[in-house]
Amino acid sequence: MVTPQNDVHEFHTYHAVETPIHFTEYDLGVSGDPIARRMVIVLGMVILTFVTFFTLYTLFGEGETLTVANSQSGAGVVPLPETGSVDAPSARQAEDINRGLPPLGSTDLNGLIAPVFTPEVLRWSDKIVDWAQAAGVDPNHAAIIMQIESCGDPQAGSSAGAQGLFQVMPFHFTAGEDMRDPDTNARRGLNYFAERLVQTNGDVGRAFAGYNGGHGAAGSPYNSWAAETQRYFYWATGILEDIEAGRSDSPRLQEWLNAGGSALCRQAAQRQGVDALLAQ
């Protein structure tokens, strides 16, 4: 949540070069007028400020900040686990990212999700399939997002305000909606993921990045992503590659658990156990 692209896209960084601006009181004919000299100094500062702003704008684009606060989703109730591998995507991933090609495809296993996910996520299997079909996305893509975002905990929340199973930010809900209601949360989260798939022409890896970093991340090169978004891409695409390889378990998911994801899953398991007891 893939139509191959034949066009080769190259990403360039353009650096604006500032030309020093020199003002002299003799050039401007104001050597004897202190007020005029002050006006020249002020004018020079205004022009220099404008040039500096324009240069920064040129270098960094339209100023979209790829932070959790501006992203569609948060990072669950614990930070995304760190990894030393995230800054060096695989050769296949790097090539696909830079060429704008979809690195991964559909993994819909006849309407089921793969068995690689943790028990806290697998308990939502039937609902994940229903939610994914309603949003028009692959159930395994939806399950990967839930795994990383909340590990199946509908009560999960982040310091940035992200809520529920899919860690959806409050501004994606309408007035009166229960942000942590599983059906509502899934609808809002997966519809956003579906939008990122449309934006990226079905590029699943970029859509994952966009789910974490916003539409700006989905449309920009890997090296421009925030570190959190790079980690998100690393975990999500690695789990999906394990599923595509037909594995019954996922080494990348295990790596995510070892790097800190297990804390999120322990919390989910505890809350699910309490919910089960209350339902009896």
pTM: 0.65
Phi and psi based region of residue 246 (left: phi greater than 0; alpha: psi -120 to 50; beta: remaining): left
Q: What is the C-alpha separation between 166 and 208, in angstroms, rounded? A: 12
Task: Give yes or no: residues 126 and 23 share one domain.
Answer: no
- Domain of 207, CATH number, reads 1.10.530.10
Place of tokens 């020093």: 20
For the chain, what is the domain count? 2
* pLDDT, tens digit, 9 for 90 and up, residues 175-204: 999 999 999 999 999 999 999 999 999 999
CA atoms within 13 A on the CB side of 149: 34
Task: Give yes or no: residues 54 and 76 share one domain.
Answer: no
- Domain span holding position 7: 2-63
Per-residue pLDDT in tens (0 to 9) along the chain, 280 residues: 444 444 433 333 333 333 343 434 444 454 556 776 777 677 778 787 766 665 554 444 433 322 333 344 433 334 455 543 344 444 445 445 444 434 445 555 556 899 999 999 999 999 999 999 999 999 999 999 999 999 999 999 988 899 999 999 999 999 999 999 999 999 999 999 999 999 999 999 999 999 999 999 999 999 999 999 999 999 999 999 999 999 999 999 999 999 999 999 999 999 987 565 555 4
Task: Give yes or no: residues 73 and 59 share one domain.
Answer: no
Pick from 239, 270, 241: which is nearest to 103 by CA? 241
Residues in the chain: 280
Answer with the one of 42, 63, 84 that is the final residue of a domain.
Answer: 63
What is the three-state SS of 247-274? Answer: CCCCHHHHHHHHHHHHHHHHHHHHHHHH
What is the three-state SS of 36-93? Answer: HHHHHHHHHHHHHHHHHHHHHHHHHCCCCCCCHHHCCECECECCCCCCCCCCCCCHHH
Phi, psi of 124 (to 5 degrees): -95, 10
Q: Provide the token pair at 101.
A: 């090609």
Task: Give yes or no: residues 151 and 37 share one domain.
Answer: no
Task: Give yes or no: residues 187 and 143 share one domain.
Answer: yes
